[in-house]
Each structure stands twice: as C-alpha cells, then as structure tokens.
Chains A and B, each alone.
Chain A
Amino acid sequence: MSFVHQEVWHWQIATYLFLGGLGGATFAIGAILHLFEGCDRKMLSIAVLSGMGFMGIGTIFLLADMLQPMKALYALTNPSSWIFWGVIFINFYFLMATVYVIPLLRSWPKLVLIVEIIPDPILDLMERFNRLAALGGSAAGFLVAIYTGLLISAAPAISFWNTPALPLLFVISAFSTGAAYLLLLSTFSKNDYAHKISEKLEQLDAGLIVTELIILGAYFNFAFFLPTGARASAAELFETPFFVFGFMGAGLLLPLAIETYSIFFSKHSKQSAGVVITASLLVLLGGFLLRYYVLHAGLYQYPW
C-alpha cells in the first residue's frame, strides 16, 4: 500500500477555507452579540463589513484557482455537490449581511449621506427587520463556516478528511478565529461598553479553543487507530514543526494561556490591550495553519 499526497488543492484553497470560515463566524458572532448584548453599532458595522471583505477575498482565491472562473455560475447546477451549497450559502450570507449592515452605517456621520440615497421606506424596513437580518445572518455565517469543512470531507479516498470530525473541527476553529477577530476590534473600540464586550469575547474564544482541543484530541486519536491513510496523515502532521509548534503551540495553547490569564487576573486595562491583541493575532494565524496543514496532509491511499 502506498500513500500519495493530494496535489490538487494547495494554499489558495486553504486561504479560501480560512477566510470563508473567518468571515462567516465574524458575522455570526457579531449578530449574536447584537441580539443578546446589544453592542456598539459602529463596531458591529466594521465587523460585518470586514466579514464580507474576508468572504469576498476568499472567493477570489477560490476563483483564481479554477480553470474557468468566468463560468462559475454553472456551479449552481448539481445539489449533490457541496460547492453548489457553498455558492447558495455565500450568496445568502452576502444578502443578509448587506440588509443587516446598511441601517448600522447610519451611525457613521460621514456615511449618512450615502445611506440616505436609499429610499426611506426601504431603509425603515431594513431598520425594522434588523434583528431578523441578524438572526438570518448568524445562520448564514454558521452555514458558510461549516461548509468549508464539509467540502473537503467529501473525498472518500482521503481517509483523514473523510470523517465527521473535520467539519466539526473547522466550524469550531472558524468561530474561534471570528471571536478573536472581534476581540481585536473591540480592543480598538472607544465605546465605554467595549471592555465588557472584550471580556465576553475572551471567554467565548477561550471556551472555543478548549472545545477545539477536545475535538482535535478525538480526531487524532481516531486517526491513529485507523489502519489507513488517516494514520499516515496524522503521523505526518505530528512530525511537522509548523503544525505542532505553530498551530498547536502558538495558535492554540499560547492564546489560551493569555486569554485565561486575562480573564482571571487582568481587568482589561490599557496596558493589557497589547497581550490581548497578540492572542487574537495568534488565533488567526493558527486558523490559517490548521487549514493549510490539514489540506497538505491529505493522502490518497493507492492500491498500487
């Protein structure tokens, strides 16, 4: 039996999976914050706009990796394909995000004039259904985030990917990167209420990292016991320093330690902002490394 690396999807697709998950989760968590915490509209609008930006850039990476990107609309043909659903989810995401964010833009004095171009009845309608759009948006964000994992788990011959643990891992990691990104934004927010939101986000992110560690443990335990390519993939990842020290060390354990310290001991003073920013950036880096290395470690098990 021989194992051969998949040579089809490289860093461009890893970037797409990372940015798609990040964009999806940023909107989903932001919208949930809005619904239950009622946080500051300026920060939320930046979060949602950048979420859309991440998603847009991610999609460009995907298109750039295709042979015929101009024909991408054909991808709405076969509902048994995960890419079909990805296109649906991403469009739903952009629709919800646009409807949700426009009323929020009124909180920016400089943007008011642009927003006012939209006829009042429509604006009022958007304002009235803002919470509904937030709800729809958090669903859309979740779907996009989990789709990134479902897409690559649909490869029967790559046993390391072909497991339900992978979409789960990707969705939790996506939400962790989303929480970290929002945490980053909140440390820059001038709103009086921002430190409260930071605290919540920090707790959320720490919880998500712990969940991610548990899933990773189960995933690798499972992979090591399979007499297949999954074991070879897992073994290979454990011999990759950038995966062990980069993703697991710097991308998970270190930010978890920083956040735990911050939750229990530092009270979000100005001085502690630096470490929180570091933790957030590390989580983002970890999110990318996870996808890059999981894609890289995809091994076909050939019968020859």
Chain B
Amino acid sequence: MARYGMVMDMRACVGCQACMAACSMENQTPYWSEKFRTHVEDSAHGEYPNVRRELLPRLCMHCENTPCLSACPTGATYKTEDGIVRINYDRCIGCYACMIACPYDARYPYDGDDVEKAEALYGSDCSHTMPHVDKCSFCEHRVKSGLEPACAATCPTGARIFGDLDDPNSEVHKLSVSGIARPLRAELGTSPKVFYIPA
C-alpha cells in the first residue's frame, strides 16, 4: 500500500494560484463563494521599507492522526488504505464538528446555495449534488489512474511534489526524511502528510 504525501517547496512557489484554479476545475469547488480545497495564503510582513511577502499554499494535510475523523459522528470522514482522508458526501450531515477539529482550516461547507450553482454550471457532470462538508481528496480519482493531483500537475514551478512517502526511491520520501521539509504545527501530534521546505 502506498502512503501518499506532498512536499511544498516554498523556494519555488511564486503565488500564481494556478493550483487553485486547476483544483477548482478538477473538483468543482465553489470558487464563486471563494471556497477552495487548496488556497495560497498571501501575506505581507514587516514595516516599509523592510517588507517581506510570504506565500503559503495549504490544503488538507491528510493527517495520520486525524482529529477530523475522530470528531465525525457519522463516519462520513474516513481514511482510504492509501492514507487519503476522504468524505462520503451521502453520509455527511454537515454538523461541522470536523471543521472545528481540523487545525489546518482545510474544510469548508458546500452548502445548499453552492450545490444549486454547481448544478446550474456543470449540469449532469455536477459532482456535488447535495450539501456536505468538503475538502481536498489528493485527487484520489486521478491518483488511482496513475496521474498526479491536479494542483501538482499544474504547478508551473514544480513547487508541489507528490508521491508515495513509503517508497524509498520517491522524491517525497527523500525530502520528508531529509529534515529540510517539515510539517505545519507538528506539536499538535496530527502527523500531517504534507511537508514544507521553507523559502
């Protein structure tokens, strides 16, 4: 079994947001309500003239220890054999317990209005036909057929490196054990499978 993960090379990210657009198209996320499965945070730090711009792309970290899954009363949140954390839309009651529990702000509600818009926009191809809580799925449907997640495939600078963390020959494995790439808020004990190489 693979154990999928991603490394974000912050030295390469230019904040072009191509990943956000690609993900929105691939997964029909409600961009009209400014809800995304992956978001590139863009913030300024310091005082003029010593101002620094900081970019931070984020998404579901597909944690090993999942507070969102523990909080979900319905079993709608589950983990695949490959360690991908997914949501069964049909079972999700939209109680938001998972959103409260997720330390990475990875989830958002796909509410009734969003479903209506999505149905009008995508017609019979619409993949969100009922209200539920939504988040990144590492594009499991693409990964299953040997492709990379849409964000990683699109990133023009190669800032997103996707692969099997357990495969000793994979780049994500090498980076994740190198010590250069670190997860966010490791102290919470969630063991994220997304790692960041500082800029």
Chain A interface (Cβ < 8 Å from any Cβ of B): 4, 6, 8-9, 62, 65-69, 71-72, 74-78, 80-84, 87, 151-152, 154-158, 298, 300, 302-304
Contact = CB atoms under 8 A, between A and B. Distances in A.
Q: Is the interface of B mostly helix, strand, loop or mixed?
A: loop
Nearest to B71: A81
A214 B94 CA distance: 36
A156 B72 contact: no
Interface residues of B, number: 40
B54, B67, B100, B133 interface centre (most CB from chain A within 10 Å):
B100
B103 A81 contact: no
Contacts of A71: 74, 91, 93
Interface stretch (B30-38, B105-113, B144-152, B165-173): B105-113
Contacts of A9: 96, 100
A303 B185 contact: yes
B14 interface: no
A67 B109 contact: yes
Q: Is the interface of A mostly helix, strand, loop or mixed?
A: loop
A78 B73 contact: yes
A74 B75 contact: yes
Interface of B: 41, 43, 54, 56, 58, 67, 69-76, 91-97, 99-105, 109, 111-112, 130-133, 184-185, 188-190
B113 to A, nearest CB: 11
Contacts of B109: 67
B56, B91, B93, B103 interface centre (most CB from chain A within 10 Å):
B93
A257 B5 CA distance: 59
A155 B74 contact: no
A118 B83 CA distance: 54
